[in-house]
Amino acid sequence: MAVAATRERPDRGRSLGSKWYGIAPDYTSAGLTQYIDLFGLPRFQADVSNTIEFTILFLIACILLGFGSAVLLDQHVRGTIFFQNIFLFPLAISFVVTGTVWRWIFNPNFGINLLLEDVHLDFLKSPWLADTRTALYGLVIAAAWQMSGFCMAMFLAGLRAIPDELREAARVDGASEGRIFLRVILPLMRPITLSAIIILGHISLKIFDLVYVMTFGGPGYATDMPSLYMWVAVFRQNLYGRGAAIAMVLLIMVALLIVPYLVWSLRSEDER
Partner 1 sequence: MSTAAVTRSPLRPSRLITYALLLVVAAFYLLPIYVIAVTAFKSFIEVSHTTPWQLPSAPSLDAFGNAFTTLAPSFFNSVLLVVPATLLSALLGSLNGYVLSKWRFRGADLVFTLLLFGMFIPYQSILLPLVLVLQKIQLYGGIPGLVLTHVVYGIPITTLIFRNYYAAVPTEVIEAARIDGASVLGIYRHVLLPISMPGFVVVLIWQFTSIWNEFLFAVTLTLPDQWPITVALNGLAGSLLAHYEIQMAGALLTALPPLLIYIVLGRYFIRGLLAGALKG
Each residue 105-144 as x (binds partner 1 by CB under 8 A) or -, in order, gives x---xxx--xx--x--------------------------
Nearest distance in Å: CB 154, partner 1 = 5
For residue 3, how far is the Cα from the chain centroid?
28
Nearest distance in Å: CB 204, partner 1 = 11
Among 11, 202, 204, 222, binds partner 1 (CB under 8 A): 202
Among 75, 120, 165, 172, binds partner 1 (CB under 8 A): 75
User: Which residues inside 37-66 make contact with partner 1, applying CB under 8 A?
Assistant: 65
Q: Is 182 in the site for partner 1 (CB under 8 A)?
A: no
Q: Is 268 in the site for partner 1 (CB under 8 A)?
A: yes
Among 11, 212, 217, 224, binds partner 1 (CB under 8 A): 212
Q: Is 188 in the site for partner 1 (CB under 8 A)?
A: no
Task: Identify whether the C-beta of residue 223 lies closer than 8 Å to the C-beta of residue 53.
Answer: no
Nearest distance in Å: CB 116, partner 1 = 11
Nearest distance in Å: CB 269, partner 1 = 8
Among 20, 165, 172, 271, binds partner 1 (CB under 8 A): 20
Q: What is the dihedral of CA 90, 96, 102, 106, to 10 degrees?
A: 160
Nearest distance in Å: CB 107, partner 1 = 9
Q: Given the complex with partner 1, which of 12 and 171 has the nearer CB atom?
A: 171
Per DSSP, helices labelled H in the chain are 2-7, 33-40, 42-73, 80-88, 95-105, 112-118, 135-160, 164-172, 177-180, 186-188, 190-205, 209-214, 226-235, 240-271
Among 36, 94, 188, 260, binds partner 1 (CB under 8 A): 94
- Whole-angstrom distance, CA of residue 104 vs CA of residue 129: 10
Helix (H, G, I), strand (E, B) or coil at 252: helix
Among 78, 120, 123, 163, binds partner 1 (CB under 8 A): 78
Segment lying near partner 1 (by CB under 8 A), choices 5-13, 33-41, 124-132, 201-209: 201-209
Q: What is the dihedral of CA 246, 250, 253, 257, to 10 degrees?
A: 180
Among 2, 3, 77, 172, binds partner 1 (CB under 8 A): 77
CB neighbours of 71 closer than 8 A, spacing ≥ 6?
155, 159
The per-residue DSSP string of 27-61 comes to ----TTHHHHHHHH-HHHHHHHHHHHHHHHHHHHH
The per-residue DSSP string of 199-214 comes to HHHHHHHT--HHHHHH
Nearest distance in Å: CB 99, partner 1 = 8
